[in-house]
Each structure stands twice: as structure tokens, then as C-alpha cells.
Amino acid sequence: MTGLPALPRRSRAYDPNCTLCPRLATFLAATRRHHPDYWARPVPSFGAARPRIVIVGLAPGMHGANRTGRPFTGDHAGILLYGTLHQAGLASASHATSAHDGLRLREVRIVNAVKCVPPGNKPLAREIRRCNAYLAHELRALRRVRVYLALGRIAHEALLMALGLPRARYRFGHGHEHALGAAAWLIDSYHCSRYNTATGRLTAPMFRAVVAKACRRAGLAVAVDPTRSGRRRTRTKRAGAQ
């Protein structure tokens, strides 16, 4: 398992040996047999311990996070995600290749609605509900969060479930901003999957604009002009809350 991260300890927010979802546990066991060099376990969250922005993804990709043991690492979706975070000054590098590549996130943490890779990249509703307890425990421990950035409708709905908020009050839509009380925001984006980027449903400028919104709502400087192909602005100091 050279190149894979160390196995985190079990907690209320993460269990490296979770088997609550029989279908997912069976799939992971088969994956470990066929790919003994893969992580093939529930994938832990990644990023700042006290973030101002939490990015909520769907689930590990079969040959990305499920292989490397780190969210959005080693797959196509991570190209746009980490490239944009780097342009925004939120990541130390623009590419994520392995858990030991030295990449660090600033003010950002990445979590998933489902921690185990699902067959066909499609978790079942009951699997999302079972895994939601882990997400809820993690979010309760993150006291400084100002913005939740949901990548896709499933992530949007899983986040609302974890926060105990009614789904009917917050309609998903790319670029939508939802006030969650006086101190936090939910911002929606289409998922940065290969399908969405290949079909043009989500473009790099669209995603940069959403990340810029998240930075502004989190009280962070917007390091990238979303209208100019990732050119950095000269302003780098922290912005006031907006």
C-alpha cells in the first residue's frame, strides 16, 4: 500500500472499517481483491481542520479517491476542483496525484455525502441516509464554517439532511446562494465530473465564479477574476465579511 495515506482512527465522524451498507462493503471487498494496491475503504475528509469553506462532494471515484485514499485525487473531477482552488489561493498546488504529493488546502475542507465508492458511481438513497450520520458529526465539530459549497444535487440534499434543515426550503440550482441563518451560506454548483465538463454543463469560468462567491461569503479575498480565464487579481489580503 505504498503511497496511500495512514489509516485514520475510528471516530463518530469516520470509521475506516464501516460495513453499515452491505452493497458498498461487498463492492469494496471485491475491489481490494482485484486491486490490492487501492485504498478501497471509506475515504476520510481532507483539508483544513478549522475551515471557513466546506466543499461537499458526492462519493469517491472508483479510480480516483477510492484508489488514492483522498477526495478528488487522481481523477478527472479533481483537475477542475484543485486547479480552481489553487487559482483562488485556497490550495498549495493545482494538481492532486496522491496522498503524499504535498498538497495542502487553506481555509477549505472537502467532505463527501457518501464515504465509500458506489457501483456505477450511484449510491442508493438508503446508503446516503446511513452515511449521513458521519457527515452530521463532522459538521457539528467544524465551528468556523461560513460557506458550504455543494457539488451537485445529492450533495446539496445530504448537507441539508446533516444540518437538520428542510429540503423544500432550499432549491438546488447552479450558482444559487442560500442563507442558513445569520452566519452561514449554502452555495450550489454542478458537480465537476467528467460528464458535466465534457458536455459543457459546467465550464471552468462557471466553476471559478461559484468559488469566487464562496470566497466572498466566507470573508476571504477573491484571488481570481472569474471572467478572465483564471488571471489573478492583485488584491491578496483577507476581505471583510459580505
Q: Between residues 77 and 1, which one has the greater pLDDT?
A: 77
Cell numbers for 52 = 471557513
CA angle, 172 then 131 then 217, to 5°: 40
- Residue 226 pLDDT: 59
> Residue 181 — very low, low, confident or very high, per pLDDT cuts 50/70/90?
confident
| Mean pLDDT on 174-195 | 96
Q: Give pLDDT tens digits for 38-65.
A: 999 999 999 999 999 999 999 999 999 9
User: Strand 46-47 relative to strand 108-112: parallel, antiparallel, unpaired?
Assistant: antiparallel
pTM strictly above 0.75: yes
Q: CA–CA separation, 84 vs 76, rounded Å?
A: 13
pLDDT of residue 211: 98
CA distance 164 to 84: 30
Domains identified in the chain and CATH numbers:
42-217 (3.40.470.10)
- pLDDT tens per residue across span 71-128: 999 999 999 999 999 999 999 999 999 999 999 999 999 999 999 999 999 999 999 9
Residue 233: strand, helix, or coil: coil
